[in-house]
Amino acid sequence: MDISKEYIEMCSKAQEIQANRKPLWGFCCLELGDYFVNKDQNYIYSGEDQPKVTDTIWLPRQDQLQVLLHDKLLYPTTWFNRMAFVFLREKKANFIYKTAEQLWLGMVMFENYNKQWCKKTSEWVQWNDIIIEI
């Protein structure tokens, strides 16, 4: 599981992804293996604590990110083909994302919201607005 500063920053700025958290009376509904980090980025919650939703950033796992793509890409082979031949090759995503979680987060943001991570500004931007510098 990626708990790097880069992934935390990507997740914190992916407001569309953060909206997928399901709070229960103001607290995060944690399942075993869920990861949240507090806003100060100095404590990782992982399935036993019940942090307040407003105090945390959700760090989705690969399987959770894949669920967010389920409606668009129904079969795992479709995910692989789309990621390998379109997303990585044409969008040059292999130069932006360092871990599998970052890659899946980028795929979700691109497929669902037409956004790409801009390393230069450390923001999610509309795909049409970005020029990827390698």
Q: Give pTM, 2 decimals.
A: 0.78
Residue 21: strand, helix, or coil: coil
Kindly give, in sequence order, each residue whose CB lies less than 8 Å from that of residue 116, ignoring residues fewer than 6 positions away. 91, 93, 96, 106, 109, 110, 124, 125, 127, 130, 132
Q: What amino acid occupies position 58?
A: W
Domain ranges of the chain: 61-126
Q: What is the pLDDT along the chain (134 residues), one digit of tens a residue?
A: 899 999 999 999 999 998 877 555 555 556 667 788 877 766 676 655 566 666 788 899 988 888 888 767 666 666 666 666 666 666 565 567 888 899 889 889 988 899 988 888 999 999 776 554 43
